[in-house]
Amino acid sequence: MKLRKSEEPLPGPAVALILVLCVSGMRAETARYSVPEEAERGSFVANIAKDLGLTGEELLARQARLVPEGEKQYLELNQHTGDLVVREKMDREELCGQSEPCL
């Protein structure tokens, strides 16, 4: 059975290019914020959605989340509004010991 031109499979490089173009719209963003030591639980830090130029709905659709480096989750992200708030008080000595600077 001979394939008509419209039914011919795409060549490998064309498939790879289409895949790259589709995936290129998805990317990870990194943001850094300063939080005062001993900031109270619920203290506002920043609006992630605004800083990334997104709406709350877009943030939710992209399944934005915070990835902690340690065991504790010190910050909390409201995916509906984009607000980043303090979830648990941070203690500089507990986090960094005597190292300077503490990041």
Report the number of distinct structural domains present in the chain. Answer: 1
Tell me the CATH number at 89: 2.60.40.60
10 belongs to a structural domain: no
62 belongs to a structural domain: yes
33 belongs to a structural domain: no
Angle at 37 between CA 34 and CA 41, to 5 degrees: 95
Q: What is the mean pLDDT of residues 56-83?
A: 86
Q: What is the pLDDT of residue 17?
A: 44
Q: What is the pLDDT of residue 44?
A: 94
In angstroms, the CA 26 to CA 47 distance is 20
pLDDT digit string, tens, across residues 4-61: 454 555 454 544 444 444 444 555 667 778 888 788 999 999 998 898 888 888 888 9
Give this prediction's pTM. Answer: 0.62
81 belongs to a structural domain: yes
For residue 62, pLDDT over 60 is answered with yes
47 belongs to a structural domain: yes
Q: From residue 48, give the alpha-carbon distance in Å to each of 23, 59, 83, 93, 96.
A: 22, 9, 6, 27, 25
Q: What is the pLDDT of residue 57?
A: 87
In angstroms, the CA 93 to CA 90 distance is 9
4 belongs to a structural domain: no
* CB burial of residue 81 (10 Å; 0-12, 13-18, 19+): middle
18 belongs to a structural domain: no
Q: Which domain holds residue 48?
A: 38-95
